[in-house]
């Protein structure tokens, strides 16, 4: 099983480590052609506007949207969640725009307000150490979207079929339970694509 991490900007190395820690093969994706051989894709945290500029500069948007249409799982963390959302609170147009959620950016304060909280996450478990860094949150979810985690009354982890999105940075802790959950999604999807 091969899982890519979009490697244009942001917390790439940490995700590669987390993927390998749960026994899958990780690939840093810098070119659109590299998407073809993958079973799943992680969009890391960082700065969504910078990532969007780089996606456009390297002409990766059509290939990313095609990847989504193929039904393969995608996991967006923080800025990655912003890239996946089909509605953004402060922009007219979404970026990749495939996950049925509305996202608001920087909704927990500025950089100095970064913090960690222990969360209960549905299907994953209790006491997950969630690191929030200028984090977005999910304001609204569309039909069929499963809310998996909340903090302070705000949705911070959700699943829309093949798409998993979270506000915080699971890759910055040693706790690999969310990555295990994603790898399981990839396994299931691979099985159904082969079936
Ligand atoms: N605030 C950033 C953005 O809007 C996201 C922060 C992060 O990924 N840690 O893209």
Q: What is the pLDDT of residue 29?
A: 98
Question: What is the value of pTM for the model shown?
Answer: 0.96
pLDDT band (50, 70, 90) for residue 110: low
CB hemisphere CA count around 47 (13 angstroms): 5
Q: What is the pLDDT of residue 156?
A: 98
Average pLDDT, the chain: 95
pLDDT band (50, 70, 90) for residue 111: low
Q: What is the pLDDT of residue 49?
A: 95
- 78 CA to centre of ligand 1 in angstroms: 6
- Please choose from 107, 115, 136 the residue to mutate so as to test ligand 1's pocket, defined by most ligand atoms within 8 A of CB: 136
Active site includes 95? no
- 155 - beta bridge partners? 138, 150
Q: Which CATH number, 3.40.50.880, 1.10.3720.10, 3.90.79.10, 3.40.50.1820, labels domain 2-194?
A: 3.40.50.880
CA distances from 54 to 19, 45, 61, 109 (A): 24, 14, 10, 26
Beta carbons within 10 angstroms of residue 113's beta carbon: 12
Q: How far is CA 131 from the centre of its chain?
A: 14
Active site includes 171? yes
């Amino acid at each position: 099983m091969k899982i890519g991490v979009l490697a244009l900007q942001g917390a790439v190395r940490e995700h590669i480590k987390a993927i390998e820690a749960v026994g899958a093969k990780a690939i840093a994706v810098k070119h659109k052609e590299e998407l073809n051989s993958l079973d799943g894709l992680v969009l890391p945290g960082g700065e969504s506007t910078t990532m969007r500029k780089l996606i456009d500069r390297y002409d990766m948007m059509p290939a990313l949207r095609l990847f989504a249409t193929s039904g393969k799982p995608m996991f967006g963390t923080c800025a990655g969640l912003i890239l996946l959302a089909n509605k953004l609170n402060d922009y007219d147009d979404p970026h990749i725009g495939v996950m049925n959620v509305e996202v608001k950016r920087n909704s927990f304060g500025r950089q100095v307000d970064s913090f960690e909280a222990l969360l209960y996450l549905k299907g994953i478990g209790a006491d997950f150490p969630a690191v929030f860094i200028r984090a977005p949150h999910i304001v609204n979810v569309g039909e069929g979207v499963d809310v998996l985690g909340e903090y302070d009354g705000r949705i911070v982890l959700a699943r829309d079929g093949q798409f998993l999105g979270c506000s915080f940075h699971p890759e910055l802790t040693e706790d690999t339970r969310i990555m295990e959950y994603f790898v399981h999604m990839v396994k299931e999807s691979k099985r159904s694509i082969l079936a």
